[in-house]
Amino acid sequence: MTDAPTARDLAPRILAGDRRALARAVTLVESTRPDHRADATALIEALRKPTADLGRQALRIGLSGTPGVGKSTFIEAFGMALVEGGLRVAVLAVDPSSSRSGGSILGDKTRMDRLSREPAAFIRPSPSATHLGGVARRTREAVALCEAAGFDVVLIETVGVGQSETMVAQMCDVFVLLLAPAGGDELQGVKRGIMEMADLILVNKADGDLKPAATRTVADYAGALRLLRKRPQDPEGFPKALPVSAMTGAGIAEAWAEVQALARWRKDQGWWDRARATQAAHWFEAEVREGLLSRLHRDPDLRRAMADQAKAVAEGRLTPDAAAAEILSNL
């Protein structure tokens, strides 16, 4: 980030939809250097009001799926369908497990060959691993940057591991789970807790030999979803399970229609704004919490004391409450 453009330079270019400026801004929000952090915060703040005044609000779609379900191919097909419909689409990846520098589940953009060459698309791989709190902030800020740049849809892609789904669910308007067909008794292996967040379950590879298995898997999940209680933020019939084929394009239009129908209903019923306000409040409190705790971890003496107490607690030498009381009394 030599000769990094200042927030002042970047803001108007982002608002003009300049993808290179957007890419630079995302790099800025990913940086952990204190001066970059300050620049990033200033930039986000400078964009907040113009974005609101322009009425720019993207449809934020969370997309979760384990490796092998064909996520990149799906994003390519889904993204191209939106772009061909005249929409601007941004794709952000969240992969806190990635440890390669610049590595990501998206890997090189060659896996989204067509979409990455579209002027109306912006694809950004996951930054290298940082702690989940940092990833959450970076992703929220990247989403805000994409909204400022006038993107209609922001796809937030995440791999089906760890806590990243919960995090993504807290920053998207619609959450989509992508699955592969399961054959017969074969277990699908959906991580517990992910299914419950899904607004839409898409079973990919509903083509060729796998089509019957995909149909059966859709029916299985539709059945499982019916066993769960209807959430107030869902219209009748949601969450839904549908077959898609990223390869043939079958079901892609239907899936997009369902996402839109759900988004429209939630907007009409006030759930959209309410969810965004709740999410914002959640992140505010999470940031305060995180900030307080990071002070605990920053001070070397306190950090040592926390580690010692945690060990004593795990070994049963202290109750969690007594250990916490001791830490708190020393603050």
Q: For its own copies, give the closer residue by CB, 19 or 137.
A: 137
Torsion sign (Cα): 295, 299, 300, 302: negative
Residues in 72-131 at the binding interface with its own copies, rule: CB under 8 A: none
3-state SS class at 105: coil
Q: For its own copies, give the closer residue by CB, 120 or 318.
A: 318
Q: For its own copies, give the closer residue by CB, 115 or 218.
A: 218
Q: Are 87 and 152 in contact (CB under 8 A)?
A: yes
Prior bond to 239 cis, omega within 30? yes
Q: Residue 40: name the closest of 90, 2, 3, 6 by CA.
A: 6
Stated length of the chain? 331
Q: Which of 20, 117, 192, 298 binds its own copies (CB under 8 A)?
A: 192
Q: Closest distance between its own copies and the C-beta of residue 249, in Å?
A: 27
Q: What does the alpha-carbon distance between residue 139 and residue 156 come to, in Å, rounded to a whole number?
A: 8
Look up residue 47 and give its two tokens.
Answer: 């964009």
Q: For its own copies, give the closer residue by CB, 44 or 93.
A: 44
Look up residue 230 and give its two tokens.
Answer: 């209807």
Residue 54 sits in the site that holds its own copies (CB under 8 A): no
As beta bridge partners, residue 178 has: 202
Count the site residues for its own copies by CB under 8 A: 65
Q: For its own copies, give the closer residue by CB, 256 or 272.
A: 272
Residue 35 sits in the site that holds its own copies (CB under 8 A): no
Written as one letter, the residue type at 2 is: T
Residues in 267-296 at the binding interface with its own copies, rule: CB under 8 A: 277-278, 280-293, 296
Residues near its own copies (CB under 8 A): 41, 44-45, 48, 52, 137, 140-141, 144, 182, 187-193, 195-197, 220-221, 223-224, 226-231, 277-278, 280-293, 296, 306, 309-310, 313-316, 318-325, 327-328, 331
